Amino acid sequence: MPSVLVDESVAPLRDALAPLIADAQARFGIPALSLALVRGEQVLWAEGFGFADPDRGIAADANTRYRAGSLAKPFTALSVLALEAAGEIDIDQPLSAYLEGFRIKRRFSPSANPITVRSVLTHHAGLPSDLNKGLWTDTPFTQVLPALREEYAAFPPHLVFAYSNVGYSLLGHLVQSVAGRPFDAHMREQFFEPLGMAATRFAPAPSAAAPLAVGHKQGRPIATLPIRDVPAQGLETTAADLGRFVGALLGGGRLQDRQVLPPDLIETAMDTQNSDVALDLDVVTGFGWFLETDAVPGAQTAVRHGGATLAYTAELMLLPEEGVGIAVLASAGGAREVVSQLARSVLAQTVKLMPEALPPDFLLSDTPKSAGSAETIDSDGRYATDFGLIAIRADESKLCACMTGETLDLVAAPQGWLGVGDVAATGTMAPSTRPLSKMRFQTRRIDGRDVVVADTGDGEVVLGEKIAREPVPEAWLDRLGRYRIVNPDADFPVVDLTLKLNEGQLCMSYRMPLLSTDRIQIPVRAVSEDQGIVLGLGRTRGDTVRFVQRDADAVPMLRYSGYFAERVESDSTASTASAKAP
């Protein structure tokens, strides 16, 4: 494909967008950005902006290569579905039927549903989200299988959507085992070569022969680390190549008068798979895709997936009913909001077929969403969320982010929602908790669980689960303090690990400096003297924190997500009496 392609039908749109894209790149530290806009099988617009290598003055174009992160998952899912279509597997059979040696510890009833291939494809298997130890190393993804034997499942299958990179690494292992050849070679021969995606590959690390745009974090170049979970996150590609993939999907598998993908395979991948999962609310999944309604003004269902690694961000979005789609790739980590909103805005303007001048803030504009209606329950209480422990105090009209001690004023909104009062006053909040200021909240009982639901502007999600006040066992109180990882990954540090009480709740927290400056806090409930469960629902929830002895005479170490940690400083401020009070 030419380095720049602009069809005359979208030239006015391109001319309106170009300066706004350049402005967004400058504001958010995105050196290179490439996109491909497709209608049917035709690429209408493919272009790059900025510099793939700023220091060497190499401009970005439609053929610039990027690490695309989780855009790997739609391809991995298609490869699994293709195996079923060929009669080689049945996705409703247990994963262990096709992946010899798959085992994971479970604390649930023996009568719980088995982990099937289908449940892994749709992120409903209850597997841990990640196996953090070794994630950013050159460890082969096939090593996830034996490592999981020492981990616990987070949830019973089919309880709740819980995004899992671990699951997609297992699917890649399944493909490799059933196909009888290396995963990357299989994907190249099955998909990339027929689609003409010559610059696309699955790989754990960049190749000097096919360099990537230089990845950046917070405006600075950073080294591109190897990645273990290749089938989940290890895709390298270009906007031009993704344009061909989008064209094939929109064209029912046809590309340039050739049938390159079975049409039934495409239709199956985009079928809703979780309509009977009450806790999923507005999170709708296909196989390797998210399905969103009202995501793009003027359009019906959006089929999409994003990708984010340490130094790159990506978005792939299709509007099948309207016959258009877009791929956006950027050489900056943490640019998810900009890249996603750019994709939505371009598609909205394309659907109109009336390119027009766009407002300067279009890249950050919100898409209105109906809140719907529901019967609420008493909102007072503490909730385990992705933002750590939060507390809603209805009598004071406050929401407290317990990790940082920040509070938001809450005001009553229609249909039982609680909205944030003075949004302008939240600008000084810590980055880790600032997204709370943009949400509305409602507490409900769903599937027998008391949860806090958030209206994020893109739909309703279960933000967290209510947790009861209960005493912390003496054995855990004796282990409070600071810990040091004893088996670290050399290039991806995990630091400042602490086990402490927060408002009487046992919490573990740590930082991953290359990922974010934010502290990650996870509320924990002790279920025995040596085991605890990360509280909440969804991604990273339900994981197990344990104390184990690596050597017979050694002091027990904290074990979490493959890491071992020894205590280096005890917490002398903990009050046993207050901790035991319910």
Confidence of residue 363 (pLDDT cuts 50, 70, 90): very low
Residue 160: pLDDT over 80:
yes
579 vs 470: CA distance, rounded Å: 8
- In tens, the pLDDT along 216-248 reads 998 899 999 999 999 999 999 999 999 999 999
Q: What is the pTM of this model?
A: 0.92
- In tens, the pLDDT along 90-109 reads 999 999 999 999 999 988 87
Confidence (pLDDT) at 508: 95
Q: pLDDT above 90 covers what percent of the chain?
A: 72
- H or E element, residue 474: helix 474-477
Residue 357: pLDDT over 70:
no
169 vs 148: CA distance, rounded Å: 11
Paired tokens of 399: 């929401």
Confidence (pLDDT) at 578: 44
Confidence (pLDDT) at 580: 44
Confidence of residue 459 (pLDDT cuts 50, 70, 90): confident
Q: Answer positive or negative: Cα dihedral of 520, 526, 528, 530.
A: positive
CATH number of 474-580: 2.40.128
Confidence of residue 570 (pLDDT cuts 50, 70, 90): very high
Could you tell me the CATH superfamily of domain 5-70+196-364? DD-peptidase/beta-lactamase superfamily (3.40.710.10)
Confidence (pLDDT) at 424: 57
Residue 371: pLDDT over 50:
no
3-state secondary structure 43-93: EEEEEEEEEEEHHHCEECCCCCEEEEECCHHHHHHHHHHHHHHCCCCCCCC
What count of other Cβ atoms lies within 10 Å of the Cβ of residue 407?
15
- Beta-carbon contacts of 508 under 8 Å, excluding residues fewer than 6 positions away, are 497, 498, 499, 521, 522, 524, 534, 545, 560
Q: Write down the mean pLDDT value for the chain.
A: 89
Q: Where are the domains of the chain?
A: 5-70+196-364, 75-179, 381-467, 474-580
Ranges of beta strands (E only) in 284-429 are 290-293, 301-308, 313-319, 324-330, 332-333, 381-385, 388-393, 398-401, 406-412, 418-420
Confidence of residue 415 (pLDDT cuts 50, 70, 90): confident
Residue 373: pLDDT over 80:
no
Q: 35-39, 206-210, 339-343, 350-354: which has the minimum mean pLDDT?
A: 350-354
> 102: alpha, beta or left, given left = phi > 0 and alpha = psi -120 to 50?
beta
Q: What is the mean pLDDT of residues 477-506?
A: 94
Confidence of residue 418 (pLDDT cuts 50, 70, 90): confident
Q: pLDDT above 70 covers what percent of the chain?
A: 92
Q: What is the mean pLDDT of residues 283-288?
A: 96
The set of long-range contacts for 321-326, using a CB threshold of 8 Å and a minimum separation of 24, is: 322/347, 322/351, 323/39, 323/40, 323/250, 324/37, 324/38, 324/39, 324/250, 324/350, 324/351, 325/37, 325/38, 325/246, 325/247, 325/249, 325/250, 326/35, 326/36, 326/37, 326/38, 326/246
Q: 234-238, 255-259, 357-361, 419-423: which has the minimum mean pLDDT?
A: 357-361
Ranges of beta strands (E only) in 133-209 are 201-202
Confidence of residue 110 (pLDDT cuts 50, 70, 90): low
Confidence (pLDDT) at 367: 36
